[in-house]
Every structure is written in structure tokens, then in C-alpha cells.
């Protein structure tokens, strides 16, 4: 092993540990006294397979004062019908105006109907832990934050998903450091965005994000631009998600996510992801340290199989293939397809 191999191994391993181990914090019982009203806003389109389970998990939230608002964005399935049965506020969003992305439009409609001091924007495919919202509010107060996002815990119901632990950790590496004030490397995910009403109004709400396909990241960037405080909950303990049910959905979904994310990736993010490739393709002593570390880290972020760590090169190759496919679509200026609609933002 050369001196440079040694340096790459140490730095690559350090990057992996920092970006995963530093995100540790369990959802616990709330310590706050007064309970502010939180409006939980769920934009959804054709989510009949998810909406009942989501609402049941939201109804089980404890130690909080919350209202649930489901905004049906022109669904053609039974999403609206199933949501209405749950005895919550359900809104049929009007046809989205020209220039709006569907999700941002549904979020804006929900926000206008919300009464809360805080808004929680969350997706239909999420399942929330009972203490999650109370813990998130506590953490926001602790950090004096105006906006909080949180990483998901991946349920991995398919065997092939269980083997891709490192794949799901790579976006954390590319995203930057938790709580970073560098707006070019903020980690925000639209599956969980908790924001104060005051901050939401200050940045112009979703009207300022109307045409964005990366509204989560841009919302965090606007918070930083306004000298407000953005933070990330440092563990995947607030909610669970099963993002995709088939290989085809996985490929199309992650290709879209990586394609959109490329416009946000900085030089240093590229370097850090490259170090992950170098670490797991050297096959020297550093891999003996990296493998058990990865086994431990991936279990904190999803139901990934321990043996998936040995398939780390497969995760890296898949990440590279999907990224390359995204680059090609960007160069060809291909439209982005999302929930049955086509967008030409890129």
C-alpha cells in the first residue's frame, strides 16, 4: 500500500463515519409545556395505497396539538374517498395554475387552510413514530430553528433493497454536514419539513417555489438567505418510508432524484462521494474496518441486511449508473416525469 492509498483510505472512512454516525438522536417524550398547534399538511396525488396507513400513524402522534390536512391534487384513484373516511380535513385542490409544480401547488393550498403556528409538510408514503412530532418540536426549540428536516428510516420490504445500504447513505454524504450554514450543501428532504408559520411567510411560502422540482432544498436555502435558522434532526427515528415497490419504480424514482440533485451538487460533494468509491474498491486493510462500520451505520438508516455491506461495490456501481443516466437526460433536456405529469424545468 502506498502513502496515498493510506491517505485515501483514512479520509474515505472518516467521511463515511462522520456523515452517518453524526446523525444520532432518538425520538423521545416531549419536554415542552405549552403545545403549539401544528398543521400537518399532506400533498397527495394517486396515493390510495398509502393514505390510510399514513393517516393512522398521524392520529397516533402523542404529546402534540395537531390538525391533519390532506390536499388531494387531482387524483384519479380513491385517494380522496379514502381520506374523507378518516374524519380529517380533506381539500380537493383546484387545477394547478400554469407554471406550478403539482406538489408545491398542493402544499400552498394546504398552507392557506392551515391554522397552526407550525406547518409540517410530509408525504403520503411516510409512517410517523408516535413521539416523532413532539421530539422534532423539542429539537427545533433546542436549536432555536425556524425549519427542520429529517432523514427517513427505510423499511426495505424487498430483498434487493436490503442489499443497498451504502446506496441509500451516499446522498447523505453528498448533502454535506448536518446543520451546515452553507446553502449550497444543505440536506433537506420533502418527506419531512417542519417550519414555523412566521418563517414560512417570511420566505414567501410555496409561491416562491412554484416552479421548483427541488422545493425542499430551495426552501432550506431561502431560510438561510433570510438569516433564519435551518437544522436537521440528527437521526432516522422520526418516520419510516417505503419509497418504491418494484425495481422499475426504484430505477425511475432514483434516476429522477439524482438527476435533479445534480444541479445542487458542489465540487466538495463530488470529491467526498468519489472517496467512497476509492475506499470500497481498494480492497486493502481499510475495507476490513469499513465493512463493520458500514454494517452498523446502515442499520441506523433502514432495515438493511448485514450482508449488504459486502455488496458495497454493487451500491456504488448502481449509484454511478443512475447518475450517468441522469446526466444523459439532462444533456438531452428530457422532460421530468413526476406523478403522471411532465415538467421542463431542467
The backbone region for 99, taken as left when phi is positive above 0, alpha when psi lies in -120 to 50, beta otherwise, is left
What's the longest Cα–Cα distance across the chain? 65
State pTM to two decimals. Answer: 0.85
What are all long-range contacts of 248-254, with beta carbons under 8 Å and residues at least 24 apart? 250/161, 251/322, 252/337, 254/322
Q: How far apart are alpha carbons 142 and 139 in whole angstroms?
A: 5
Candidates 236, 70, 272, 78; CA nearest to 156 is 236
Domain boundaries, the chain: 3-22+249-343, 37-164+178-245
Residue 159 to residues 196, 300, 321, Cα–Cα distance (Å)? 39, 18, 20
DSSP 302: B
Fold (CATH) for 37-164+178-245: Spore Coat Polysaccharide Biosynthesis Protein SpsA; Chain A (3.90.550)
- What pLDDT is recorded for position 171? 73
**pLDDT, tens digit only, all 346 positions of the chain:** 454 454 445 455 555 555 555 555 555 555 555 789 999 999 999 999 999 999 999 999 999 999 999 999 999 999 999 999 999 999 999 999 999 999 999 999 999 999 999 999 999 999 999 999 999 999 999 999 999 999 999 999 999 999 998 888 877 766 555 556 667 677 789 999 999 999 999 999 999 999 998 899 999 999 999 999 999 898 899 999 998 889 999 999 888 888 887 666 554 555 555 555 555 555 555 666 667 777 777 888 899 998 888 888 888 888 888 888 888 888 888 888 777 777 665 4
Bridge-based pairing state of the strands 126-128 and 118-122: unpaired
Amino acid at each position: 500500500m502506498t502513502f496515498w492509498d493510506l491517505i485515501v483510505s483514512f479520509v474515505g472512512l472518516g467521511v463515511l463515519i462522520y456523515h452517518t454516525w453524526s446523525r444520532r438522536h432518538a425520538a423521545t417524550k416531549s419536554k415542552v409545556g405549552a403545545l403549539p398547534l401544528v398543521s400537518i399538511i399532506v400533498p397527495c396525488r394517486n396515493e390510495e395505497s398509502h393514505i390510510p396507513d399514513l393517516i393512522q400513524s398521524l392520529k397516533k402522534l402523542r404529546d402534540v396539538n395537531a390538525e391533519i390536512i390532506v390536499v388531494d391534487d387531482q387524483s384519479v384513484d380513491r385517494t380522496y374517498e379514502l381520506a374523507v373516511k378518516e374524519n380529517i380535513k380533506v381539500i380537493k385542490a383546484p387545477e394547478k395554475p400554469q407554471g406550478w409544480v403539482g406538489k408545491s401547488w398542493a402544499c400552498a393550498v394546504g398552507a392557506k387552510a392551515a391554522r397552526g403556528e407550525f406547518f409540517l409538510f410530509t408525504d403520503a408514503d411516510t409512517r410517523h413514530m408516535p413521539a416523532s412530532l413532539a421530539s422534532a418540536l423539542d429539537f427545533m426549540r433546542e436549536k432555536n430553528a425556524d425549519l427542520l428536516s429529517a432523514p427517513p428510516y427505510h423499511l426495505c420490504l424487498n430483498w434487493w433493497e436490503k442489499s443497498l445500504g451504502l446506496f441509500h447513505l451516499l446522498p447523505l454524504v453528498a448533502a454535506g454536514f448536518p446543520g451546515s450554514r452553507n446553502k449550497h450543501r444543505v440536506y433537506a428532504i420533502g418527506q419531512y419539513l417542519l417550519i414555523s408559520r412566521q418563517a414560512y411567510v417570511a420566505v414567501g411560502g410555496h409561491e416562491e417555489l412554484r416552479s421548483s422540482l427541488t422545493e425542499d432544498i430551495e426552501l432550506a436555502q431561502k431560510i438561510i438567505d433570510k438569516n433564519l435558522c435551518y437544522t436537521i434532526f440528527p437521526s432516522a427515528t422520526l418516520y419510516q418510508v417505503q419509497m418504491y415497490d418494484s425495481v422499475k419504480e426504484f430505477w425511475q424514482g432514483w434516476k429522477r432524484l439524482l438527476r435533479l440533485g445534480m444541479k445542487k451538487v458542489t465540487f466538495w460533494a463530488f470529491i467526498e462521494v468519489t472517496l467512497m468509491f476509492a475506499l470500497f474498491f481498494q480492497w486493502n486493510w481499510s475495507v476490513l474496518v469499513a465493512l463493520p462500520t458500514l454494517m452498523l451505520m446502515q442499520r441506523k438508516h433502514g432495515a438493511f441486511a448485514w450482508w449488504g455491506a459486502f455488496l458495497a461495490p454493487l451500491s456504488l456501481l448502481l449509484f454511478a449508473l443512475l447518475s450517468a443516466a441522469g446526466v444523459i437526460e439532462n444533456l438531452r433536456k428530457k422532460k421530468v416525469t413526476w406523478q403522471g405529469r411532465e415538467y421542463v424545468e431542467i
